[in-house]
């Protein structure tokens, strides 16, 4: 593999690593939103 190819691959791996770190907070936010919707539904539609 050429030096340019290795640098490109390393940069792409680092970018993927950063985007994957953001998945955990996004998943937690989604869970909070779903829980809030369920609570609102239970409170107002029972």
pLDDT per residue over 1-46, tens digit each?
678 889 999 999 999 999 899 999 999 999 999 999 999 999 998 7
The reported pLDDT for the residue numbered 1 is 60
**Which residues, in sequence order, are CB contacts of 45 under 8 Å at separation 6+?**
none
Domain limits, the chain: 3-44
The reported pLDDT for the residue numbered 35 is 98
The reported pLDDT for the residue numbered 46 is 72
pTM of the model: 0.66
Q: How is residue 5 written in tokens? A: 């190819």
The reported pLDDT for the residue numbered 34 is 98
């Amino acid at each position: 593999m050429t030096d340019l190819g290795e640098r490109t691959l390393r940069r792409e791996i680092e970018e993927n690593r950063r985007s994957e770190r953001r998945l955990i907070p996004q998943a937690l936010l989604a869970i909070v939103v779903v829980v809030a919707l369920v609570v609102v539904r239970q409170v107002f539609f029972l």
